[in-house]
Structure 1
Amino acid sequence: MRIRIGGGETLQARLWDNPAARDLIDQLPLTLDFSDYGRQEVLAEPPGPLTMQGMPAGESAPAGTIGWYAPGRSVVLYYANVGRFTGIVRIGAMDGDLSGLQGWDSVRPVTIELAG
């Protein structure tokens, strides 16, 4: 499923066909307050949780991954490579230049919507 992620600059992205990604699609469009975590990702909590049923217990997250971090109930946009960690599942991928996600020193609103 093609989506757009906009928070200043717009990224084209896609969500995989898996249970957690379908839960996120059901909540779109969303504007969430994303913040930087660990200088490797930006994250925000959606209104409802995404299922972990049928998902792996944990995965790695290469740069460009859209993930769900179940313990923190967070949608995560990874701009750096993150090793395997329990609770991370991949739900999609972003295309293009990820530098606009880096260096945030405050919370920023980001809209995630289906790409018509």
Structure 2
Amino acid sequence: MQNARQLTITVTGQRLTATLDDSPAAADLLAQLPVTVDMTDHGGVEKTGRLPGPLSLQGQPDGSDPDIGDLGYYAPGNDLVLYYGDQSYHPGIVVLGRLNDGAADRIAAINGDVTVTVEAR
């Protein structure tokens, strides 16, 4: 992946990593870092939390069917999303990149709501 950008995501003291795609939405996320986000667990498949500002939707489809391990953005709620389970297609979802090295499994093992810090590496 050209111009890949690496993130460190700290969840309950665990340092995880992610790789951002090269997109306007990912660039907007980088511009907001570092950021701390309070995340809620939704349906046993994702943790979501509101970002300080919206991300660009330029060049993005109307929705997406994220894979387990995707890092996403839910535009209607202005939410950063960590996908650790199987979420089906939904309008407003933008895939920003991928969680690395089994991070999705580690997030899945954390029950309930969390506070997450996201930083550029």
The answer as to 2:74 corresponding to 1:61 is: no
Correspondence for 1:104: 111
Deviation at 1:104, TM superposition (A): 2.2
Deviation at 1:33, TM superposition (A): 0.7
Query: Number of residue pairs matched?
Result: 114
Q: Once the two structures are superposed, what CA deviation does each residue of 1:34-81 show, in whole Å capped at 9, x if it has no partner?
A: 110111000110100111122111111101000011112111000012
The answer as to 2:17 corresponding to 1:12 is: yes
Correspondence for 2:119: 113
Correspondence for 1:83: 88
Correspondence for 2:57: 52
Correspondence for 2:26: 21
Q: Give the Cα–Cα distance (whole angstroms) in 2 for the partners of residues 10 and 31 of structure 1.
A: 14
Q: Give the Cα–Cα distance (whole angstroms) in 1 for the partners of residues 111 and 53 of structure 2.
A: 25
* Secondary structure at the counterpart of residue 68 of structure 2: coil
Of 2, 7, 27, the match for 1:3: 7
- In the alignment, structure 1 segments of 5+ residues that lack a partner are none
Q: Give the Cα–Cα distance (whole angstroms) in 2 for the partners of residues 108 and 79 of structure 1.
A: 14
Q: Runs (4+) of structure 1 moved beyond 6 Å?
A: none
Contact 1:35 1:104 in 2 (8 A): no
Q: Give the Cα–Cα distance (whole angstroms) in 2 for the partners of residues 41 and 96 of structure 1.
A: 17
Of 71, 76, 90, the match for 1:71: 76
- In the alignment, structure 2 segments of 5+ residues that lack a partner are none
- TM (norm. structure 1) is 0.91
RMSD in angstroms over aligned alpha carbons? 1.2
The sequence identity of aligned pairs, in percent, is 39
